[in-house]
Amino acid sequence: MPGQLIASSPFIDWSWISTNARTIEDAVLQHVELSGIAVGCGLAISLPVAMIAWRYHWTRSVILGFAGLLYTIPSIALFVLIQPLTGYFSLLTAEVALVGYTLLILIRNVITGLDGVTSEVHEAALAVGYTPTGAMIHVYLPLALPSLFAGLRVATVTVVGLVTITAFIDWGGLGQLIITGFSENFFQTPIVVGLVLSVILAALCDALVVLLERSLIHWRRAAD
């Protein structure tokens, strides 16, 4: 009887899940891959750009304005705009769009962290012989890490959620399951599986970023 009740669930067809386990696994792996590439590339771009914006204040409004413009463009519209340049239904199109949505979050948080560096710290760094570049790497950026990780958490969760939208250009990870459900007369099982796994994946990624932060920032953990 319990097995019959589970099998007759209005939202989940467990036989479909067992039959399509490999498809679900592939969707999860693609989701993780797309998210990891986007966050990694976004961070690689944002760090030097944020340092430029912090050092040369006149560039700040231009950089944040451009990043803010990218962030406000709806995802589907962004796909349409960039596909002539990056290729139709291509991995590059998906990643360029996803990276674009990380830039404002990461750049702004890195700048906020660097703005927290006091003039006393700046003078002390120069007094002990650091060059401006050396002070940035060894003093200023480490002090900005809490703000950086706060932005990284938001950017990571944002990207994990947005990856589902790339299913519209055939690179959707778990979003492909949602599209499958809608295309099969609103068959709810793949839709529910895609949504639930997306939420779980976002939570796991957020937890991993928190663990990474705690492992890197020993002095902050000790202060807590």
Q: To the nearest whole number, what is the mean pLDDT of the chain?
A: 87
Residue 126: its pLDDT value, please? 81
Residue 161 has pLDDT above 80, yes or no: yes
User: The domain containing residue 52 runs over which residues?
Assistant: 33-223
Of 34-43, 163-172, 187-196, give the range with the top mean pLDDT.
34-43
For the chain, what percent of residues have pLDDT higher than 90? 52
Q: Does 16 fall in a domain?
A: no
Q: Does 154 fall in a domain?
A: yes
3-state class (DSSP) for residue 184: coil
Q: Does 24 fall in a domain?
A: no
Cα within 13 Å of Cα(145), Cβ side: 17
For the chain, what percent of residues have pLDDT higher than 70? 92
Residue 205: its pLDDT value, please? 96
Domain CATH for 127 = 1.10.3720.10
Residue 6 has pLDDT above 50, yes or no: no
Residue 4: its pLDDT value, please? 43
What is the token pair recorded at 199?
């939420």
CB 137 within 8 A of CB 178: no
Angle between helices 141-162 and 21-55 (to 10 degrees): 140
User: pTM of the predicted model, to two decimals?
Assistant: 0.87
Domain count, the chain: 1
Residue-by-residue DSSP string for 84-138: HHH-TT-HHHHHHHHHHHHHHHHHHHHHHHHHTS-HHHHHHHHHTT--HHHHIII
Contacts 24+ apart (CB under 8 A), 116-119: 116/143, 116/144, 116/147, 117/143, 117/144
Q: Does 90 fall in a domain?
A: yes
Q: Does 10 fall in a domain?
A: no
Q: Does 206 fall in a domain?
A: yes
Residue 10: its pLDDT value, please? 62
Please give the residue that has the higher pLDDT: either 84 or 41.
41
- What gap in Å lies between CA 61 and CA 221, rounded to an integer? 34
Residue 123 has pLDDT above 90, yes or no: no
79 pLDDT band (50/70/90 cuts)? confident
CB 32 within 8 A of CB 159: no
Residue 218: its pLDDT value, please? 66
Q: Does 157 fall in a domain?
A: yes
Lowest mean pLDDT among 24-33, 79-88, 215-224: 215-224
Q: Does 56 fall in a domain?
A: yes
